[in-house]
Chain A
Amino acid sequence: GAVVSQHPSRVICKSGTSVKIECRSLDFQATTMFWYRQFPKQSLMLMATSNEGSKATYEQGVEKDKFLINHASLTLSTLTVTSAHPEDSSFYICSARSQPGGAGVGTEAFFGQGTRLTVV
């Protein structure tokens, strides 16, 4: 299957600082990328959907000014948590898919390894 690389896998930051998480599709062009947040022992909650070259679409209740998403190229999307606070501590996961009919992907979304963010 296609490979999605997410970096960093773990990050600890001080309260009030910003942290950037990168999501790269290594062997396919990701026309759409999704960002999820997962609390301990809970499901994945979709935060936002981004399409290359356009603004991200945020789910209801997600602060777009706090969680900045950029999808500047077909292989890279970034999530920046601005002015992080302890309540932002969580596991963040990205996934990517190519356009329907794209090589080997279609409607399947491939997932990065996730990033554990701890805000102290």
Chain B
Amino acid sequence: AQTVTQSQPEMSVQEAETVTLSCTYDTSESDYYLFWYKQPPSRQMILVIRQEAYKQQNATENRFSVNFQKAAKSFSLKISDSQLGDAAMYFCASFGNEKLTFGTGTRLTIIP
């Protein structure tokens, strides 16, 4: 079984600043993947970044990076130079045993 926990229901950040969204997970799988998805008001799920658990190096995609702490089962998302278009719900997810399990989400507001 997998569980994903996001302890921050809402976060806000000033435009151009940096924000970190927290996520912890638990899984019995030895081979798994972690994702951050963005859901804007359109409700289309958009993949932001992915991390293979067997890789020690933290994934980076332009302004988005993760801090993957495998022993602590922590997978936080850092957004640098926040932009108005980053405003959305962000879901952390764990994939293992053929299932994608989502956290409860963090609503990110960007303050102009």
Contacts and interface: CB of A to CB of B under 8 A. Distances in A.
A44 B47 contact: no
Given A107-B33, A114-B43, A114-B44, A44 B91 contact: yes
Interface centre among A1, A42, A43, A95 (most CB of B within 10 A): A43
A32 B43 contact: no
Q: Is the interface of B mostly helix, strand, loop or mixed?
A: strand
A34 interface: yes
Interface centre among A44, A91, A108, A109 (most CB of B within 10 A): A44
Nearest to A36: B102
Contacts of A114: 43-44
B101 interface: yes
A114 B50 CA distance: 22
A89 interface: no
B103 A43 contact: yes
Interface stretch (B69-77, B78-86, B92-100): B92-100
Contact of B101 (A42, A46, A107, A111): A46
A98 interface: no
A7 to B, nearest CB: 14
Interface string A19-40: 0000000000000101000100
9 contacts: A32-B98, A34-B100, A42-B104, A43-B91, A44-B102, A49-B99, A95-B100, A107-B33, A113-B44
Interface of A: 1, 32, 34, 38, 42-44, 46, 49, 91, 93, 95, 107-109, 111, 113-114
